[in-house]
Amino acid sequence: MAPKVRVRRRYTAPRTVLLVLAVLGTLISAYLTWTHFAGLTPVCTGSGEGCQTVQSSRYASVLGIPVALLGLIAYGGLIFSTALWRETGIYLGLLISLVGTLFSAYLTYLEIFVIGALCQWCLASAAIMLAALVCATLAAMPLLRGR
């Protein structure tokens, strides 16, 4: 009889890294959400026009919800997932980071090919989300191997 593999520790290495990434992402999206509602221009290196152009584009909101706020919700969900025990947390983390990465890829595509401007904060968030997906996948590996 094969031993049943359980993730006994809440914070394996990938999940710890995932938590750190989620906190970083939360800070970035909180900042962008704040600038959105306060009507400010995000601090951007270079001329700073990239962030302004991207944040004032028609793609900056989905159904009136700022994309930055969606990011904040996603990163909050990731933090929550790392606090959950065992499989549930792992599956939730994987689901959120996969949706986040797919949507970030689409947003980055928009920045480059449609809006024609790059926003460093958005790119940083996309990179963090991708790294979070890698961590969430690594965290889910023991579940797969267990069968």
Partner 1 sequence: MEKNSTLRSPRTLLALLVAVAIVVAALLVVLSQLGGGGGSVDDAGEFYSGIPQDGTTLGEKDAPVTVYLYEDFQCPFCGKFSREMFPDLVDDYVRDGDVKLVSETMAFLGPDSVTAARAALAAGEQNHFWPYSTLLFENQGDENSGYVTDDFLRGLAEDTPGLDVQKWEDQRAGNSFTKELKAVQGKAQAAGVNSTPTLIFKGPGGQAKIDRLTDYDQISSAIDKVDGS
| Beta-bridge partners for 61 | 66
As a whole number of angstroms, the distance between CA 119 and CA 47 comes to: 11
* Cβ 134 to partner 1 shortest distance, Å: 15
Binding site for partner 1 (CB under 8 A): 39-41, 49, 52-53, 56-59, 61-64, 67, 70, 87, 91, 94-95, 98-99, 102-103, 106, 140, 143-144, 146-147
Q: Three-state DSSP class for 147?
A: coil
HSE, CB side, 13 Å, CA atoms: give it for residue 64.
Answer: 0
* Cβ 30 to partner 1 shortest distance, Å: 20
CA separation, residue 31 to residues 50, 78, 105 (Å): 16, 18, 21
* Cβ 124 to partner 1 shortest distance, Å: 20
Of 99 and 130, nearer to partner 1 (C-beta) is 99
Q: Are 14 and 94 in contact (CB under 8 A)?
A: no
* Cβ 118 to partner 1 shortest distance, Å: 14
Of 30 and 140, nearer to partner 1 (C-beta) is 140
